[in-house]
Amino acid sequence: MSAEAPTTPAGGTPPEPDEDESIDFSSDVGHLTMLALFIKLDVRTLVRNHLIERVAMHLCTGIPKFFWRPFFNTPLMHALRAESDLAIMHIYSSAWEEIQCSPCRDLGKKRPKTCDRPLCRRGFAPDSVRRRAEIKNHRDAVCHPPDSLSRPAARKFVEEKNHIADVRAAIAWDAYRSINEGLAAANKPTNDLVITVDSDLVGVLRCVLSLCWHPAAPTFNDKALTEWLEECWAKDRIVFEGHPDGRLPRMPKEERLALWDTLVKEWEETHPPDPSNK
């Protein structure tokens, strides 16, 4: 039996609207509600791809003898980076892309400097949404060759290699957190983003490793990969919230080398070489 639409009672008073229906989607709260839906999958994509790269980098730098080529040169990693690039572009377009109304667009250069129409030449996201400047710089770095960047801030951003050094997942995560903070402040339902380590995420990591893992090296089972991904996200989520600008601290080189040596020794002790493999 199909559900029937609510009817007006005999007294003529319509039923109370649901909480979601009471939201004015032309207000800032309405924009936050829609924006959370628009970019949720993009933020999820950035975080999941970051976890794959983090675990692969940890293994590649910790036990390099088990890799016959760097993982970041595999075709699948290029595909994941392209997917993350599209996510950054979509987040900026959804939140801050400035679009003119039809009258202003028809006037061309004769259009007025200001327009009272809603959202004309203004981004969709309210001012409370954070990380606009960082996401715009990353969007420009993705969309334009370095020598064609017209904005001085974008040129400086690329010249300082921040488009490579920044962790875009941390920036997008903080932007999404600010959306939920705005909804919570207005006593509206938040749209929480939960990152889970499922079989798909583990499968993609296994595919990345299979393209660069030495055939004679011992392989990891899905349980080990799942544990590493979960541990990585538990630590990185804290780091994201402590460094929301994406500028994550790096361990000094001497400490990194000492850590890698320890990891290699522990691995060799627990995984003795097979005499049959020469």
For the chain of 278 residues, list the mean pLDDT of each consecutive stretch of 10: 44 49 73 92 96 89 81 89 95 84 67 66 81 94 84 89 90 96 92 93 92 82 89 91 81 65 65 51
Residues 261, 267, 268, 274, Cα dihedral to 10°: -140
Overall pTM surpassing 0.85 (yes/no): no
User: Where do the structural domains in the chain lie, given as residue ranges?
Assistant: 28-247
Residue with tokens 């960047």: 149
* DSSP secondary structure letters along the chain: -PPPPP---TTSPPPPPPTTTT--TTSHHHHHHHHHHHHHHHHHHHHHHHHHHHHHHHHHHHSGGGBSS-GGGSHHHHHHHHHHHHHHHHHHHHHH--B--HHHHHHGGGS-S---STTBTS-SS-TTS--HHHHHHHHHHHHS-GGG--SHHHHHHHHTTHHHHS-HHHHHHHHHHHHHHHHHHTT-----------HHHHHHHHHHHHTTB-TTSPPPPHHHHHHHHHHHHHHHHHHHHH-TTS------HHHHHHHHHHHHHHHHHHSPPPTT--
What is the pLDDT, as a whole number, of residue 151?
A: 87
What is the pLDDT, as a whole number, of residue 270?
A: 63
What is the pLDDT, as a whole number, of residue 200?
A: 95
What is the pLDDT, as a whole number, of residue 190?
A: 92
What are the residues whose beta carbons fall under 8 Å from the beta carbon of 258, sequence distance 6 or more?
Answer: none
What is the pLDDT, as a whole number, of residue 249?
A: 72
